[in-house]
């Protein structure tokens, strides 16, 4: 993960349409018409800044892994050792809306500092905006970080979860209307505690429904778990992943543009108010989010004092767009479980920035999505870590909700 601190180069990039091989002198400053060739250990990255949305994007983005040469498909940036391989910068009909920016990235990094399934690029890049072009640094940190003190003397039942079903899972809940939104509801009707479950971009997948059922029925603390259908029955088709064609990339870009995490985060407090009216027996609420939903959960619990936060605990599972700046504002006990695909440095800095009771851990042999739609529960190792992940969340909520 690139560092969240960066040094800025001089100059800014032009907003006009420019082909990738135009002006191929190789430092970021050359985007402004000056500079010299870069060291062999760096590559140039083309970003397109969307002034209206305040983020960097390039829907046709891709980059080649420095070690293997394999293409890594992403949605909002592009990088390559060969500039001629880059797609043409996106400008659109409104010539004043986009600004093309070049920056430098350490070529030794096997994973760049950008999410593979989100809109906002790394904070270090976002900070540069129109003020300069940084040289991004990479991290060598790989350690797992767990920051929740060991629990002693607790009831072991709080950590017990039902057996995980590998295939053909029969969901235990039902669908209801909450705040005029279709909602999967599971767990005892007389539960005193509730969990708002923010699914990943693939919506109501069996692996996610099973996860909700586990949270609802594990241990000695029962929960009513709600999964609102924010996508209105039109989730991202899992066939769009990986985004290895132009059409898939275009579709994914449009999908994320329709459902940015801040937009959904703004809807959450109103939804919880309606849920409280529908389930008045629930006195305390937690939130858990996966991938895209992990960002939503973080935003809801990290606002200013004036922002409405209806939750007493939060969980972010293999989250997209991990930003340590978000952690500084979190005001409730927080658990983050990362996969091997979330950048180590961002996860570590997020943990350091949390000023609340916390548990941050990386499941180093699991892929992004192992506790939700992308979980291959017929793989015994994935099944084991899926169960351990939910057990960890159940234990955290039992102590903090």
Domain span(s) for CATH 3.40.50.1820 in the chain: 156-400
* Rounded CA Rg of the chain: 22
Our measurement of the distance from residue 17's CA atom to the centroid of its chain's CA atoms, rounded to an integer in Å, reads 31
Rounded Cα–Cα distance for residues 380 and 396 (Å): 24
* 201 in Cβ contact with 255 (< 8 Å): yes
Rounded Cα–Cα distance for residues 112 and 96 (Å): 28
For position 14, what pLDDT does the model report? 34
Per-10-residue mean pLDDT of the chain, 401 residues long, equals 32 32 29 33 50 44 37 34 42 46 44 33 35 30 25 38 80 96 96 97 94 89 95 91 80 85 94 97 97 95 77 96 93 96 92 97 93 92 95 95 92
For position 270, what pLDDT does the model report? 96
For position 124, what pLDDT does the model report? 34
For position 294, what pLDDT does the model report? 96
Angle in degrees, CA 19, 24, 27, rounded to 5: 120
Rounded Cα–Cα distance for residues 215 and 161 (Å): 8
Tokens linked to 195:
């969990």
* 348 in Cβ contact with 145 (< 8 Å): yes
Tokens linked to 145:
């970080």
Q: Is 129 left (phi over 0), alpha (psi -120 to 50) or beta?
A: left
CA-to-CA separations, 199 to 162, 257, 274, in angstroms, rounded: 20, 17, 19
Alpha helices (runs of H) in 341-379, residue ranges in sequence order:
344-353
For position 248, what pLDDT does the model report? 84
By three-state DSSP, how is residue 55 classified? Answer: strand
By three-state DSSP, how is residue 51 classified? Answer: coil
Q: How are beta strands 334-339 and 358-363 bridged, if at all?
A: parallel
Homologous superfamily of the 156-400 domain (CATH):
Alpha/Beta hydrolase fold, catalytic domain (3.40.50.1820)
* 318 in Cβ contact with 372 (< 8 Å): yes
Tokens linked to 348:
């570590």
């Amino acid at each position: 993960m690139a560092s969240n601190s960066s040094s800025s180069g001089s100059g800014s990039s032009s907003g006009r349409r420019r082909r990738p091989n135009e002006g191929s002198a190789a430092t970021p400053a050359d985007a402004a018409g000056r500079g010299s060739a870069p060291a062999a250990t760096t590559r140039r990255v083309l970003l397109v800044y969307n002034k209206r949305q305040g983020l960097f994007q390039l829907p046709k983005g891709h980059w080649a892994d420095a070690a293997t040469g394999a293409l890594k498909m992403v949605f909002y940036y592009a990088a390559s050792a060969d500039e001629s391989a880059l797609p043409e910068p996106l400008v659109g009909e409104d010539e004043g809306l986009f600004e093309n920016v070049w920056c430098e990235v350490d070529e030794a990094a096997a994973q760049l500092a950008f999410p593979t399934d989100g809109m906002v690029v790394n904070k270090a890049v976002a900070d540069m905006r129109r003020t300069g072009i940084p040289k991004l640094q990479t991290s060598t940190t790989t350690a797992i970080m767990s920051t929740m003190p060991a629990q002693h003397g607790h009831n072991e039942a709080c950590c017990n979860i039902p057996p995980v079903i590998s295939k053909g899972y029969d969901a235990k809940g039902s669908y209801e209307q909450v705040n005029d939104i279709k909602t999967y509801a599971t767990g005892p009707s007389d539960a005193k505690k509730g969990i708002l479950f923010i699914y990943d971009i693939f919506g109501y997948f069996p692996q996610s429904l099973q996860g909700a059922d586990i949270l609802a029925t594990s241990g000695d603390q029962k929960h009513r778990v709600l999964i609102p259908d924010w996508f209105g029955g039109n989730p991202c088709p899992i066939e769009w992943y990986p985004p290895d064609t132009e059409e898939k990339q275009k579709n994914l870009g449009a999908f994320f543009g329709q459902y940015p995490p801040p937009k959904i985060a703004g809807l959450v407090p109103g939804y919880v108010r309606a849920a409280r009216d529908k389930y008045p027996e629930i006195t305390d609420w937690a939130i858990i989010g996966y991938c895209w939903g992990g960002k939503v959960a973080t935003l809801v619990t990290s606002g200013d004092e004036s922002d409405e936060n209806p939750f007493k605990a939060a969980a972010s599972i293999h989250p997209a767009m991990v930003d340590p700046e978000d952690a500084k504002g979190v005001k409730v006990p927080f658990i983050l479980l990362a996969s091997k695909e979330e950048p180590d440095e961002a996860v570590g800095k997020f943990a350091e920035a949390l000023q609340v009771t916390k548990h941050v851990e990386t499941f180093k042999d699991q892929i992004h999505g192992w506790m939700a739609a992308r979980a291959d529960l017929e793989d015994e190792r994935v099944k084991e870590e899926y169960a351990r992940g939910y057990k960890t969340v159940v234990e955290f909520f039992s102590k903090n909700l």
